[in-house]
Amino acid sequence: MSSTTYSKRHENIVLSGIEAISEVLLGDDMLEKESLLFCLDKYLNPYFRYDLSYKDDIFLLVEQVIVGNNSKECKEEAIHLLATYACPPFNIITENLDKIELEFLSDINYTNRRNFLLDGKK
């Protein structure tokens, strides 16, 4: 069992902006991608009070990770980020449901339904 970590370099990527984040999340290095996704958890969490102006763009990239040719670990972390910090609609996912592995569909459906119910209570 491996443990995902991130470094100051990953934090700098997040703070550098959407282009730097995109380069990693759309790249081929799964370990880098997984570390950056793990790092994003800190920067998207309201507890830490980071207010990234490009947060919505990050969520679009995270959706692309889920529907793309990525490792199971990357997809799990991406789903976690959407489920915890994003609000639907998840258009990229909706338009590419046929590209999502069966094992992730229940989590995706739960995320859509959970966020829809929370949004309805506002």
The string of pLDDT tens digits covering residues 32-88 is 999 999 999 999 999 999 999 999 999 999 999 999 999 999 999 999 999 999 988
Average pLDDT, the chain: 90
| pLDDT given for residue 115 in this prediction | 53
Report how far residue 120's alpha carbon sits from residue 114's, in angstroms, rounded to the nearest whole number.
10
pLDDT at res. 91: 93
Give CA–CA dist 14/75, Å, rounded. 19
